[in-house]
Chains A and B, each alone.
Chain A
Amino acid sequence: MKLRERWALAWVWLDARLGLAEIKQLATKKEVPVHRHSVWYYLGGMTLFLFLVQIATGVLLLFYYRPSADGAYESVQFLMAEVQFGWLIRSIHAWSANLMVFTLFLHFLSVLLIKAYRPPRELTWVSGFVLLAVTLGFGFTGYLLPWNELAYFATRVGTEIVAVVPLVGEFLLRVLRGGEDVSGATLTRFYAIHVAVLPAIAIALVALHVFLVQRHGMSVPMDQETRGERPASMPFFPNFFLRDLVGWLLALAVLVTLAAFFPAEMGTKADPFVPAPIGIKPEWYFMFMFQTLKYLPAHILGIEGEAVGIFAFTVGGLLVLLIPFLDRRSARGQASRLFTWFGLVLIAYVVVLTYLGYTANPTQ
């Protein structure tokens, strides 16, 4: 029997069991709109690619990492210095995390400005927003795992933030830290959250998000939709898919370059009995919040400044989550200046505060 015939037989066998023909039909039927904003469509896929890189490298790191206050730093040191390509795997994991947050931010902002959250895509927006929050959770919990000084203080500050919640704040703080202070108990908690809880949530949400995107198709910019003309389009498979792959290869090239030339650092081992180092910084994507907290006075209208700041960020986050339900004008297909401005102000605020965070003198 020829190979081709064998393959045809295998296809028939599998099709009867898996319904391959339906999947093939779906893939060939799917169309992607083509217009001047089409380029933003690639960012979601690129984020997904980087997430897959995170899973692969994360699993590899688990082979050597030891989640304890006595062993974590040493195990990472061993991985970086002794294990063949250990430095590469860890550097890729660290850089891919940063790139993933970056592409995710861009994806989020493009959807916000194109107003792709309009009905019926509200839940796509909500699932995407929760994924953004989960990603920041990944970043926050993963940052602590090498158990170095910067991570230790970032975690002290970051967890202390939940203590401002009225009534149950202290209790939540204790549950989050696994005790009164950031300690080995916090490390095992963050480890469990980072390698088990968040991945389970993220994978389920990614599945939902992709399913919703598949169900509703790609959103088309509002001006095109209101004009009612059918936009130009290209088949998803193979045209868009191959372009997507080019994007993935591009991301991989950037990733590998960064990892090779700027490998992840070790820092010094965390010590709860040394002062916080001068110029201490969180990861760049938390910088705007960190810098805001620096500028707030001790008390605002009789309430502690940090509580006001954190409350404001919570309200801001909720507003962003609820945008599809608040933006009634764009839901009706009308221009919605207010929300365009909201998006632009949000971007300006984050950019300016992040810039200040990196340039302002830390001792003044």
Chain B
Amino acid sequence: MRTSLSQTRRRFVDWLLGTSLGGLVIAVLYPAGRYLVPPASGESATASVTLAVGPGDVPANSGQIFKFGNRAGILLRTPSGELRAFSATCTHLGCIVQYRQDVSHIWCACHNGHFDLNGTNVEGPPPRPLEQYQVNVRGDQIVIGKGA
């Protein structure tokens, strides 16, 4: 009778110490882990930007990078004279793409990925097309908007 009572007590104390220790570990690890996760910055709310360059500054068969909120975009004029804009972040591993005049492609230097003038991945490792933006020319201003 005595032993079983002391065993019960012992088990209770073990349980108490065990859970307290577990609680202590969690109380230390959780804040430290949470501390390492950066606070959400909120998706960039930018819906449209007016570029510093005018339509006359973009010759045919050329492209340039612009800021779209905190992201990079690429504005290009096709050899046939049409203005188009895409996200400049390569869908492969996130490098910034550039326009290649020799092949009239959007090209990523990091892993040799090619996109055609519609932003479609046509060669190399990129798995998806580039996101296309809407280009509006208002007088001598270029306005880029999301969702084409």
Instruction: Give me the interface of A with B, judged by CB distance under 8 Å.
Output: 153, 156-157, 160-161, 171, 174-175, 177-181, 185, 272-280, 290, 293-294, 296-299, 304-306, 362-364
Contact = CB atoms under 8 A, between A and B. Distances in A.
Interface of B: 36-38, 41, 65-67, 70-72, 88, 92-98, 100, 107-112, 121, 124-127
Contacts of A280: 95, 109-110
A316 B127 CA distance: 23
Given A174-B37, A306-B127, A272 B109 contact: no
Contact of B67 (A185, A273, A275, A297): A273
List the 4 closest A-B pairs by CB distance, nearest first: A275-B98, A276-B95, A304-B127, A160-B94
B69 to A, nearest CB: 11
The DSSP consensus for interface residues of chain B is loop
Contacts, number: 87
A305 B94 contact: no
Nearest to B95: A276
Nearest to B37: A175
B125 A298 contact: yes
Contacts of A304: 127
B125 A296 contact: yes
Contact of A305 (B36, B95, B125): B125
Given A157-B95, A275-B65, A294-B125, A179 B38 contact: yes
B41 A153 contact: no
Nearest to A290: B111
18 contacts: A156-B95, A157-B95, A180-B70, A181-B70, A272-B72, A274-B96, A275-B65, A275-B98, A276-B95, A276-B109, A294-B111, A294-B112, A294-B124, A298-B121, A304-B127, A306-B92, A362-B112, A363-B107
Contacts of A276: 95-98, 108-110
A157 B126 CA distance: 13
B72 to A, nearest CB: 5
A293 B38 contact: no
Contact of B124 (A178, A180, A185, A298): A298
A303 B112 CA distance: 19
Nearest to B92: A306
Given A272-B96, A274-B96, A298 B36 contact: no
